[in-house]
């Protein structure tokens, strides 16, 4: 019922970025895509979110080809936290979070009571309620990222995509936001597809890891099954030891310098 990708390929010019990729993603799971820079992680997110069209192969969401959905329909199904970027216009934090409700509010209508309460709840949960009236253009990179994360949560979609969404955050906020995300996977049966650089964080919070290299999936499965030192060496070309860490309650990687 989630995503079904079959022999998907994507090119930038002549350069293949995704090669003949097939996989399934089911609801109620937290997937994290890991891999070296330029391995096609963000492109894969763009493809399954319908932002880019594959040059070959098919992508289905809930059994329907993804290009059958209108942008409006998709925006009620999936929310995206993009990589950190600069915003030039002084929208207030609250205005930006409210934009997450736009897909649910008719074009010329004011927000309904449900929209307002949802925005308020999400701002409390993500710890940005104190900044509600500050300008997004004046926030630090990490603060901005939390606001954009809150907007995606306010969108209230069954699917949440995180494109290095925690890259600029301090560790306290990373743990807070990812716990929030895991909780929504458990209670609301959300599908989360994340791209992360930090394999240890990915192992702590994800249900499944998908290792990518050169546009292809090298390994995909539950964390305990796929996170091994051999895979780390194959994907990242570094020496590493993988062990179970009781304190984080997850398999963790120690790298050789």
Partner 1 sequence: MTMFPRNATPIQLLFLSAALFLCVIASTGMGYVHVSFFDTARILLSEFPGMDGFQTDIQELQRVVVTEVRLPRILTSALVGAGLAVCGAVFQGILRNPLADPYTLGVSAGAAFGASIALLFPLGIANVYSVPLLAFLGGAGTLIFVIYLSASGGGISSNNLILSGIIVAAILSAGISFLKYVADEQVSVIIFWLMGSFASRTWADVLLTLGAVCAGFSVFLFYARDLNLMSLGSRTAASLGVETGRTLLVLLITASLVTAICVSVSGIIGFVGLLVPHMMRGFTGPDNRRLLPVALLAGAILLLVADTITRAVLPVEVPIGVLTALIGGPFFCYIFRKRQMARSGF
Residues making contact with partner 1 (CB under 8 A): 46, 49, 51-52, 70-72, 74-76, 78-80, 82, 85, 87-92, 94-96, 99-100, 102-103, 107, 133, 148, 155
Q: How far is the CB of 154 from partner 1 (least distance, A)?
A: 11
Q: Cα separations (Å) of 252 from 73, 94, 167, 181, 249?
A: 39, 37, 19, 20, 9
Q: How far is the CB of 12 from partner 1 (least distance, A)?
A: 9
Q: How far is the CB of 28 from partner 1 (least distance, A)?
A: 21
Contact 77, 61 (CB under 8 A): yes
Q: How far is the CB of 52 from partner 1 (least distance, A)?
A: 7
| 110 versus 246: smaller Cβ distance to partner 1 | 110
| 184 versus 217: smaller Cβ distance to partner 1 | 184
* Cα–Cα distance, 219 to 73 (Å, whole number): 32
| 152 versus 209: smaller Cβ distance to partner 1 | 152
Instruction: Give 88's contacts (C-beta < 8 A, 6+ positions apart).
Output: 137
| 53 versus 186: smaller Cβ distance to partner 1 | 53
| 90 versus 141: smaller Cβ distance to partner 1 | 90
* Cα–Cα distance, 198 to 169 (Å, whole number): 12
Closest CA to 137 of 80, 92, 81, 170: 92
Q: How far is the CB of 6 from partner 1 (least distance, A)?
A: 23
* Cα–Cα distance, 156 to 153 (Å, whole number): 6
């Amino acid at each position: 019922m989630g995503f079904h990708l079959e022999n998907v390929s994507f090119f930038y010019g002549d350069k293949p970025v995704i090669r003949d990729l097939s996989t399934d993603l089911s609801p109620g799971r937290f997937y994290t895509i890991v891999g070296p820079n330029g391995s096609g992680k963000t492109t894969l997110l763009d493809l399954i979110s319908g932002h880019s069209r594959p040059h070959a192969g098919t992508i289905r969401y809930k059994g329907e080809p993804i290009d059958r959905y209108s942008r409006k329909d998709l925006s009620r199904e999936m929310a995206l936290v993009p990589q950190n970027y600069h915003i030039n216009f002084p929208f207030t934090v609250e205005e930006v979070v409210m934009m997450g409700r736009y897909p649910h509010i008719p074009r010329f209508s004011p927000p309904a009571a449900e929209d307002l309460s949802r925005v308020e709840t999400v701002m409390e949960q993500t710890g940005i309620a104190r900044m509600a009236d500050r300008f997004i253009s004046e926030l630090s990179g990490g603060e901005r990222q939390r606001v954009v994360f809150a907007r995606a949560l306010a969108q209230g979609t069954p699917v949440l995509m995180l494109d290095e969404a925690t890259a600029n955050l301090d560790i306290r906020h990373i743990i807070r936001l990812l716990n929030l995300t895991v909780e929504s996977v458990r209670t609301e049966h959300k599908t989360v597809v994340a791209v992360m650089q930090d394999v240890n964080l990915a192992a702590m919070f994800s249900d499944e890891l998908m290792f990518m290299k050169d546009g292809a999936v090298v390994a995909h499965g539950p964390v305990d099954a796929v996170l091994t030192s051999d895979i780390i060496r194959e994907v990242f070309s570094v020496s590493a030891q993988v062990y179970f860490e009781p304190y984080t309650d997850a398999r963790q990687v120690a790298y050789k310098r």
